Structure 1
Amino acid sequence: MGFAKNQQISYGKNENVVLTNSNLGFQIKTLNYPPHGGLFASIGQNSTTNICPSNSEESNGFKVPYMDLYLKYVNSIVGGEEEEKSEAEANKKKKKGLKLKIKVGNPSLRRLISGAVAGAVSRTAVAPLETIRTHLMVGSSGHSASDVFHDIMKTDGWNGLFRGNFINVIRVAPSKAIELFIYDSVNKKLTPKAGEQPKIPISPSFIAGACAGVTSTILTYPLELVKTRLTIQRGVYNGIVDAFVKIIREEGPGELYRGLGPSVIGVIPYAASNYFAYDTLRKAYRKFFKQEKIGNIETLLIGSLAGAISSSATFPLEVARKHMQAGAVSNREVYKNVLHALASIVEKEGVQGLYRGLGPSCLKLVPAAGISFMCYEACKRVLVEDGDEA
């Protein structure tokens, strides 16, 4: 059977594919080919592809045998390449992982939320160590971490290790939010821009850390005192509100700020050294590894090391503060001021009394500092502005 000149070929019922024969040459015309992809769909709407030279004259149409198999073959080649590209892009996205982003327009609110989350997570993670440390400092349940642990387990069970944690979270969340917010704000304001002279002779992170620690301590100190009372005075109070009411009624409002002096004095060197060490270690890491971004694990380690440095240097003041907060519990001596507390502790227990509970304290403060910094930096990456991918 021969092909007549100027014969037009239609592929089956699909009127969108037309082959035209002219002098034994063919043209393939594609008109709005179905959107499943393939060679002819990629040619474009109302386009013409020459297989052989022709005069492009129209005539009557006829069907070409095996054309359906030919088109499936072409689609399998071109479509397969597109599927491979799509699969490669999907795998690339999976490797990057899911990135959670929550849009918060106000930068101050982002810092406050990040700080609150960081404080709550870090304190809950180390709540058992905080409980043991507090008992060791005031000597209410034993003279070693193991003695305190066994006494708490015998008396209250596992719940005893988390006694006072709820109020601790309520205290630490706003305290850490205020602290990190003040630190970021002051540090950013004092840090000179590229090419500018330093605004102050002291490291901006040192000043910012001191300001942050003092501000958060003053604003949240009553919660710290109530938390200490709930931890060491078992069965005396029926909760946070009951503790506040009984302390104010029986001991006066001023009792809520007992020990504030040593707390403020202690927090200045602690917070200043903590943030200064953290900032210095981050800069050293960037310089050594020559990369701007720092991962979560690296932030955890840097923050933990900074916490170890600062807590060891200021621990005696922390011991004096805990003794003053305990007040006259169990016929304890009521100290007049921080110097009186320090002198009395040295007189009764020696210099080692100023470092009682340092081991559990470091076990608690070191990871707490690392977790806090890690959560804070992670939350800042999650809470972004519109269009911000930080």
Structure 2
Amino acid sequence: MTSTPEKNLPFSLQLTCGAIAGVVEILALYPLDVIKTRAQLNSGASVGVVSSFQDIIRNEGVRTLYRGIAFPLSIEAPKRALTFAANEQFTTFYMKLFGMDHVTPSLALATGVSAGITEATVIVPFELVKVRLQDKANAQIYKNAWDALKKILQKEGILALYNGLEATILRHAVWNGGYFSVISSVRNTLPEAQNKNEQLRNNFIAGTIGGIFGTMLNAPTDVVKSRIQSFTGSGPRKYNWTLPSILLIGKEEGFKSLYRGFVPKVLRLGPGGGILLVVYDTVSNWMKLNIVYD
């Protein structure tokens, strides 16, 4: 998916590029993720993004907007590294498997889904801890990420860290499939870049549109994932598997509720998708020019 596919980076450098892109993106846009999770866990009246920001800052302080960032930040580098590197590796594998000489939207869809599944299986415990910390109801239960991890293990057992595995796999498979396939399609329709600035522009446009499209597709699975992972073991478990949970939320709250938190989510993952692609391609192109490798 890089802009100079004729010279592929080795796997270790692909990992490095993805890691750098992920860290830049999460540092820039993490507060929107907190707002998104709060909205998804709320079954009452919806609150706007600006109102949510104001409410958190006024009642809980600015630091709350970064509550739970330690775990996501610690996993963001390997997560995005794995996503982009896996996408590169699956692209090479599928092109050889099907005898293709260029990336098509259908190939990009297949590689994106494969990379998303790979990514999801690794990050489930980190996502669960993040959701627990972002939930306002847990403000007095967990001091920080490590305290949350310790208490979850003590009270619920190690398997609890994998609550929402199925929903996480579906969420990431759908988002990555939509993201990478749309990037491929948009790049083919944009005017060919004549200089570095135009290349950055094309990457940001393609990545942003891809991020918005992926977010539109996976919003219901993301809401379900947050509901499943917020369960602390107290009382009856209301949400477990993805499809039954989607149907239950639709029945009790209306199917519009499956898009709770959509605005902050799309505000993060739209531009966030653009940032990821720009940083990844910029770093990878720099490495191709400045690092000697076989």
Task: State the TM-score, normalizing by the size of structure 1.
Answer: 0.66
Q: 2: distance between equivalents of 1:137 and 1:176?
A: 24
Aligned pairs (5 A) from 1:22-37: none
Partner of 1:262: 167
Partner of 2:35: 132
Aligned pairs (5 A) from 1:57-96: none
Partner of 2:95: 191
Q: 1: distance between equivalents of 2:291 and 2:170?
A: 43
Quote how far apart the aligned CAs of 1:155 are.
2.5
Aligned pairs (5 A) from 1:185-224: 185-191=89-95, 203-224=106-127
Q: Which amino acid aligns with 2:146?
A: V
Q: 2: distance between equivalents of 1:318 and 1:170?
A: 21
CA-to-aligned-CA distance 1:62-108 (integer Å, 9 cap, x gap): xxxxxxxxxxxxxxxxxxxxxxxxxxxxxxxxxxxxxxxxxxx9721
Determine which of 23, 29, 36 is the counterpart of 1:120: 23
Partner of 1:273: 178
Q: 2: distance between equivalents of 1:284 and 1:153?
A: 42
Partner of 1:174: 78
Partner of 1:71: none
Contact 1:112–1:181 (CA<8 Å) still a contact in 2? yes
Contact 2:43–2:253 (CA<8 Å) still a contact in 1? no
Q: Which structure is larger by alpha-carbon Rg, 1 or 2?
A: 1
Aligned pairs (5 A) from 1:351-390: 351-384=255-288
Relative contact order higher in (CA < 8 Å, ≥ 6 apart)? 2
Contact 1:117–1:375 (CA<8 Å) still a contact in 2? yes
CA-to-aligned-CA distance 1:100-150 (integer Å, 9 cap, x gap): xxxxx9721211111011011101111111111110010189721244223
CA RMSD of aligned residues (A): 2.9
Bigger drift between 231-240 and 170-179 goes to 231-240
Q: Which amino acid aligns with 1:271?
A: N
Partner of 1:162: 66
Residues 244/161 of structure 1: CA separation in 2 closer, same or farther (3 Å cut): same
Q: Which amino acid aligns with 2:142?
A: Y
Q: Secondary structure at the match of 1:125?
A: helix
Q: Secondary structure at the match of 1:383?
A: helix
Determine which of 249, 274, 277 is the counterpart of 1:345: 249
Determine which of 310, 315, 331 is the counterpart of 2:219: 315
- Which structure 1 segments of 5+ residues have no match? 1-104
Q: Secondary structure at the match of 1:126?
A: helix
Q: 2: distance between equivalents of 1:298 and 1:289?
A: 8
2:146 matches 1:241:
yes
Q: Which amino acid aligns with 1:155?
A: N
Residues 328/180 of structure 1: CA separation in 2 closer, same or farther (3 Å cut): same
Q: 1: distance between equivalents of 2:194 and 2:283?
A: 21
Residues 136/388 of structure 1: CA separation in 2 closer, same or farther (3 Å cut): same
Quote how far apart the aligned CAs of 1:331 are.
6.0
- Which structure 2 segments of 5+ residues have no match? 1-7
Aligned length: 281
Q: 2: distance between equivalents of 1:201 and 1:302?
A: 15
Partner of 2:53: 149
Q: Secondary structure at the match of 2:244?
A: helix
Q: Secondary structure at the match of 2:186?
A: helix
Q: 2: distance between equivalents of 1:374 and 1:339?
A: 35
Quote how far apart the aligned CAs of 1:239 are.
2.4
